[in-house]
Structures are given as C-alpha cells and as structure tokens.
C-alpha cells in the first residue's frame, strides 16, 4: 500500500487511540487542568476535535513516511518492527515529558498521563504503519 494512504489510516488510528485515552482513561484528577471559558461562553469541542484530527493525520503521515524509510534498519519486522519503531519515536517524547515534569511539579499528574498516552499512541501508529506499509 502507498505510504501516504497508510499514513492517513495510521493518523485515524492515532486519533481514535488519543480520543479514547483522554476521554475514557485519563478522567480522574484532570478537571483541575481545564481552562474555564469566559463567563457566559460555552466550550466548543468541534473546532478542538477538528484540530486534533488534522494533527493526528499529520502525525500518521510522518510516522508512515519515516517507517517506510527506516523499516529495513529495524531489528524486527512486521508488527514487532512497528512496535520497535513506535517505541523509538516515543523515547524522545517520553524523556522530554519526564524532564518537564521535574520542573513543573504542579502538573506532574498531567505529564505522567501524557507520558503513557504518547507511548500507546506511538505504538499503535507503529503497528498500523507496519501492517499497511509494504
């Protein structure tokens, strides 16, 4: 399959995983990090979900393109190669998240949630890219 189509499908998978992680898994204790809207104004989720979808599609394209380029350099192949690739991508994000949580003690819970959400998102994207990119 073409890596662009695979990237778009990977982006959709990343979007669904991200939505589930932040709407179902990381619920308890996250209310304190919500920025309330101005008085009398509702929270418009439509534009925020659309922006998240566009960013997830861009993420999927980047992951599939990089996987297409580096798949011959991985130790494993297939699904395990996708997980290896996703974890390698996640390492920089994970270390940056841990480093940030050292300085911002008040948001450590949010940073821990972001740490694990990125691990799941990167591994799912790596698996989907590995299955679809030939």
Parent domain of 119? 3-27+45-132
In a domain? residue 32: no
* Confidence at residue 112, expressed as pLDDT on a 0 to 100 scale: 81
Q: Where are the alpha helices (DSSP H) in the chain?
A: 3-20, 45-70, 78-103, 108-132
80 CB-contact burial (10 Å; exposed 0-12 / middle 13-18 / buried 19+): middle
Question: 16-73, pLDDT tens digit by residue?
Answer: 998 888 887 777 767 677 777 788 788 787 888 899 999 999 999 999 999 999 988 9
Angle 114-118-123 (CA atoms, 0-180°, nearest 5)?
155
Distance CA 132, CA 99 (A): 34
Report the number of distinct structural domains present in the chain.
1
45-70 helix and 78-103 helix, angle to the nearest 10 degrees? 130
Higher pLDDT, 27 or 81: 81
In a domain? residue 34: no
């Amino acid at each position: 399959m073409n890596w662009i189509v695979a990237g778009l499908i990977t982006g959709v998978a990343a979007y669904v995983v991200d939505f589930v992680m932040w709407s179902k898994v990381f619920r308890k204790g996250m209310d304190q990090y919500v920025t309330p809207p101005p008085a009398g104004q509702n929270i418009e989720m439509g534009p925020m979900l659309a922006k998240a979808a566009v960013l997830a599609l861009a993420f999927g394209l980047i992951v599939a393109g990089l996987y297409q380029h580096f798949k011959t350099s991985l130790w494993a192949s297939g699904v395990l190669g996708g997980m290896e690739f996703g974890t390698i991508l996640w390492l920089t994000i994970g270390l940056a998240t841990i480093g940030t949580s050292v300085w911002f003690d008040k948001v450590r819970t949010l940073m821990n949630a972001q740490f694990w959400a990125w691990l799941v998102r990167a591994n799912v994207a790596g698996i989907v890219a590995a299955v679809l990119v030939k």
